[in-house]
A = this chain, B = another copy of it.
Amino acid sequence: MLTVGESIYALATRLFPICRSITGNGVRETFAILGELLPELTLHSVPTGTKAFDWTVPKEWNIHDAYILDATGQKIVDFKQSNLHVLGYSSPINKTISLEELQKHLYSLPEQPDAIPYITSYYKERWGFCLSENQRQSLEPGDYKVVIDSELTDGDLTYGELILPGQSEKEIFLSTYICHPSMANNELSGPCVTTYLAQWLASKDRKYTYRIIFIPETIGSITYISRNLEQLRNNVIAGFNITCVGDDRVYSYLPSRQENSLADQASLHALSHLQPGFKRYTFLDRGSDERQYCSPGVDLPVASIMRSKYGTYPEYHTSLDNLDFISATGLAGAYEVIRTAIECIEANERFRINVNCEPQLGKRGLYPTVSTKKKAAIVSNMMNLIAYADGERTLLEIAEKISIPLWELLPIVNNLKQANLIDVLDEFPATA
């Protein structure tokens, strides 16, 4: 049987070849595969031209083939070799042009001569090809035939949504994006990790309701918010934008605009105990859908737990961000931290010790009878937890106060509940 990391990696491998964009058949092919793993995933279609706040859903883009033939008729650039070769949202073209003319439509990276860059032009109609700088330098003067068999037509923006009801209608919100073509860390890692988080959440008792969405970046999050604003505002107590969760280098944290929301506190608690060497960014370093979720009029508590953050690693937005750049362990590590942050929120509650002074734990068998260092730590944690169980602090705040992972306190909390020593005052605290 596969580990969770291996399963996520296998899913990424299967989705990798598909040519996704912010709309089109590549997105729907992707959902067909995700739907096998998440049967309850509901697809929504939003027609071209639909208004979403300041934005409008664009035309749907589909592409069948694209290539460049040199003067000898040899196919020197081929979409079927790498879908990064085509400028995203390229309009169709089919003509023979000089090298000089062709150069105006080529994109390459002089600093990374082996890499094909990933470039798009969603909101201005253009056509173009992306290729390595090395290949570009080798092009000889002469005529080239350029063919892009694409369509820009009225159609739909497609997104997937999965609502997993919990005891409370208060929600934890997970968002990831499915608009990038063949790249691995940014971005197949996000939807793949999110799929397995959703499977895990579907299989367990849930205190909170989970709203899990797979959308195209920016236009997708804006469209989604425009259709769900009141619900999101009223119910979301914590959210995570899941992106760049596949490589093995660092762990990264980027706060919500609020900076100290429950999502932020749970993220920091999980990261600082599990991956204390994580890199801490500020909201000024943002660059994904938290730009929308955390915008002033929306202001959701959405934080990001990542591996190597978008924009910070050399392979970012090139053909080098491939399946070799991510790994089963890289994916599993991020999965584990995000799952732990969610577990911290699920287990969070506000309670109060219901006796004055310290309870006499000996008569209740709550002191270990065999004395070891580990047992001594448990007693110390129990006494500290009781000392701060004042009805004002949440469990997450107590865990931070006493510098112990929340998950190590849970057996103690259960013992105290069974001994009827604590009263739960707030089962669903919306703040830490």
Q: A: which residues have CB within 8 A of B?
A: 52-55, 123-124, 221-222, 225-226, 229, 257, 283-284, 286, 291-292, 294-299, 352-353, 355-360, 362-363, 383-384, 386-391, 402
Contact = CB atoms under 8 A, between A and B. Distances in A.
Given A283-B387, A387-B257, A55 B360 contact: yes
Contacts of A52: 357
17 contacts: A53-B357, A222-B358, A225-B357, A226-B357, A229-B356, A257-B387, A284-B402, A291-B358, A292-B358, A295-B386, A295-B387, A296-B352, A296-B353, A296-B387, A296-B388, A297-B355, A298-B357
A291 B361 CA distance: 14
B297 A54 contact: no
Nearest to A356: B297
A363 B362 CA distance: 71
A285 to B, nearest CB: 10
A299 B360 contact: no
Contacts of A359: 54
Contacts of A387: 257, 283, 286, 291, 294-296
B283 A225 contact: no
A297 B353 CA distance: 8
Contact of A360 (B54, B229, B357, B360): B54
Contacts of A353: 295-297
B390 A355 contact: no
B123 A362 contact: yes
Nearest to A390: B296
Given A123-B363, A257-B387, A362-B123, A357 B284 contact: no
A357 B222 contact: yes
A362 B125 CA distance: 13
Nearest to A290: B387
A354 to B, nearest CB: 8
